[in-house]
Copies of this chain bind each other. A is one copy, B any other.
């Protein structure tokens, strides 16, 4: 995560500080050192505490950041996540960027955890999608893992997912799969999107490794799982929310991909409180 994390923090700090924090430079003496604490203002699953630490470290290596919690932990409203001590200028300048990142990441982890809890006891795994925030995908996907989910492919370059339009362009499921097997690295499984049981059958016959069952009814999902019979992984997608995921999981699918983990998660509420 290193290179990406470095890029993201630098991008975020440049965006927010640019040619300088005018207010802080004008009003706060560079010699003033102060303490502050990161405090949870609601209950959530923490994700990104190292990212927050890295924001301040990049601004001023003399800032001390003492973690009192760690990623994946369920924190309670009022809980102190970390103590900071360092130049007041650095704490003031890094505050917003650190919070913006930490609040989003924890929001995703918390949202993911809710979905994961729903499928407990079933065979299904909750996976993310590419519906992430442009530029922040590596953090979004990390937060999903922290929340107990697992990652689907990172991007277009590291997974084969043959969708309806690829099938149309290739002239059929079989041709599309055959082309992918011949041209894609042999280290990648081949996943095919299907919307009917006929397509599922066709995909199995053509040797797909994973079958995406898109927007199917619960009945269709059950039939598809039976049809697949363990010869491929079954992944459900479409219309997944906290109300529907349990039923979907109980159809026997192996994976359920949920765009809502990342495209619409709510930032949790966290404050940086300065100690007077």
Contact = CB atoms under 8 A, between A and B. Distances in A.
Interface of A: 1-4, 8, 11-29, 32, 34, 88, 91-93, 96-97, 99-101, 103-104, 107, 125, 127, 130-138, 145, 150-170, 175-176, 179-180, 182-189, 191, 209-210, 233, 235, 254-255, 263-264, 266-267, 274, 276
A113 to B, nearest CB: 17
Contact of A27 (B92, B150, B169): B169
A216 to B, nearest CB: 17
A26 to B, nearest CB: 4
A18 to B, nearest CB: 4
Given A92-B165, A180-B26, A186 B158 contact: no
A18 B155 contact: yes
Contact of A20 (B1, B24, B26): B1
A208 to B, nearest CB: 12
A230 to B, nearest CB: 13
A103 B168 contact: no
Given A21-B157, A135-B136, 11 more contacts: A17-B157, A18-B157, A23-B156, A23-B180, A92-B165, A133-B136, A158-B158, A160-B187, A186-B189, A186-B210, A186-B255
